[in-house]
């Protein structure tokens, strides 16, 4: 997309209820998320955007400020404003880890290990992994995953010690957990159950993800099984709400022979009256 095409896309009218700055920010955000404005692309200077769109420079600056806070653009002194990152698309139909999801992309990935070792599993973890509650029964791995140098996910992974104790002492910074677990004969991820809900970050989570307390996030709880139905990992993941979105492909019931079993189930969670 060249500058002329960009200006044409940004000129499309928004709703009357949307401020000019909000509309401009939302339009740029869609172009970044769609990949039409690719990573590393230099945006036109504020004055050009202001003149070509017939809006004030204050409006342009507010829109770019919002995108910068969301980690989608970066201002470089004396150079200009550059697209730094599109949001990460999660797939609801494919079982894969963080490394596999982003492999082959041009995104820069890195991992910070917060904690790794034996740990007594909580009741929910015991149930998910079908293990006891002793300290040596489970291995816990806590990681913060970065994309393009922005913290994107906070993950707490639990694994039965019987299949994961050989990982103690290993450097897991740049390793795929699924690949390492597969070093055990027969321990290969085959299928998983996953639950996704919206949440807000507490003060500790916000600090880990460099957000504000109360910022929105996705919480994903997943249990992964091998081909024999044995649980091999239970993970609770927080994904920054401004960094992720999810998509899936929907099919009509007549295309699925076991539609009642294969369709995802949506639940409404509500507090009971006091």
pLDDT in tens, 127-184: 999 998 888 899 999 999 988 778 889 999 999 999 988 888 888 888 888 888 888 7
pLDDT surpassing 50 at residue 15: no
Query: pLDDT for 21-32, tens place per residue?
Result: 888 888 888 888
**Which has more pLDDT, 257 or 112?**
112
Domain 88-249 has CATH 3.40.1410.10: yes
**Which has more pLDDT, 245 or 114?**
114
pTM of the model: 0.67
**CA-to-CA dists, residue 48 to 1, 31, 67, 84, angstroms:** 16, 18, 18, 20
**Which has more pLDDT, 3 or 153?**
153
Go through 72-108 and write b for each residue having 16 or more CB atoms within 10 A of its CB, e for each that does not.
bbbeeeeeebebbbbbbebeeeeeebbbebbeeeebe
Residue-level pLDDT at 159: 93
Class of domain 3-83: mainly alpha
pLDDT surpassing 50 at residue 274: no
| Average pLDDT over the chain, rounded to an integer | 80
Q: How many CB atoms lie within 10 A of CB 271?
A: 5
User: On the CB side of 120, how many CA atoms lie within 13 Å of its CA?
Assistant: 4
Say if strands 231-240 and 150-160 run parallel, antiparallel, or are unpaired: antiparallel
Query: pLDDT for 39-93, tens place per residue?
Result: 778 898 888 888 888 888 888 999 998 888 777 888 888 888 888 765 665 555 5
Mean pLDDT within 200-204: 96
Query: pLDDT for 97-137, tens place per residue?
Result: 555 555 555 567 889 999 999 999 999 999 999 998 888 89
> Which residues, at least 6 apart from 77, have a Cβ–Cβ distance to it below 8 Å?
none
Instruction: Please provide residue 64's backbone torsions phi and psi, each rounded to the nearest 5 degrees.
Output: -70, -35
Q: Quick one: residue 117, left, alpha or beta (phi over 0 = left, psi -120 to 50 = alpha)?
A: left
Say if strands 244-247 and 231-240 run parallel, antiparallel, or are unpaired: unpaired
Nearest CA among 203, 202, 213, 85 for reference residue 152: 85
Residue-level pLDDT at 149: 79
pLDDT tier, 219 (very low <50, low <70, confident <90, very high otherwise): very high
Residue-level pLDDT at 104: 52
> Which of the residue ranges 22-26, 196-200, 203-207 would you say has the lowest mean pLDDT?
22-26
Residue-level pLDDT at 37: 82
- Output the six-digit token pair for 179: 């690949």
- Output the six-digit token pair for 68: 């910068």
- For the chain, the domains span 3-83, 88-249
pLDDT surpassing 90 at residue 202: yes
Residue-level pLDDT at 96: 58
Residue-level pLDDT at 67: 85
Residue-level pLDDT at 32: 80
């Amino acid at each position: 997309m060249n500058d002329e095409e960009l200006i044409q896309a940004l000129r499309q009218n928004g709703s009357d209820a949307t401020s000019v700055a909000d509309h401009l920010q939302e339009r740029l955000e869609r172009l970044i998320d769609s990949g039409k404005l690719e990573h590393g692309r230099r945006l036109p200077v504020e004055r050009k955007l202001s003149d070509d769109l017939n809006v004030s420079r204050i409006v342009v600056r507010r829109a770019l400020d919002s995108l910068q806070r969301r980690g989608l653009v970066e201002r470089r002194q004396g150079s200009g404003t550059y697209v730094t990152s599109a949001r990460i698309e999660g797939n609801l139909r494919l079982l894969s880890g963080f490394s596999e999801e982003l492999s082959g992309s041009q995104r820069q990935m890195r991992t910070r290990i917060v904690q790794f070792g034996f740990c007594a599993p909580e009741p929910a973890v015991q149930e998910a992994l079908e293990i006891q509650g002793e300290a040596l029964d489970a291995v816990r791995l806590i990681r913060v995953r970065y994309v393009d140098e922005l913290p994107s996910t906070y993950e707490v992974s639990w694994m039965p010690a019987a299949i994961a104790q050989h990982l103690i002492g290993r450097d897991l910074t740049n390793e795929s957990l699924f690949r390492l677990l597969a070093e055990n004969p027969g321990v290969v991820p085959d299928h998983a159950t996953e639950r996704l809900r919206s949440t807000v970050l507490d003060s500790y989570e916000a600090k880990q993800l460099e957000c504000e307390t109360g910022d929105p996030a996705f919480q994903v709880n997943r249990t992964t099984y091998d081909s024999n139905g044995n649980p091999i990992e239970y993970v609770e993941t927080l994904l920054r709400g401004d960094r992720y979105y999810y998509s899936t492909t929907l099919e009509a019931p007549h295309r699925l022979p076991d539609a009642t079993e294969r369709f995802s189930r949506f639940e409404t969670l509500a507090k009971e009256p006091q």
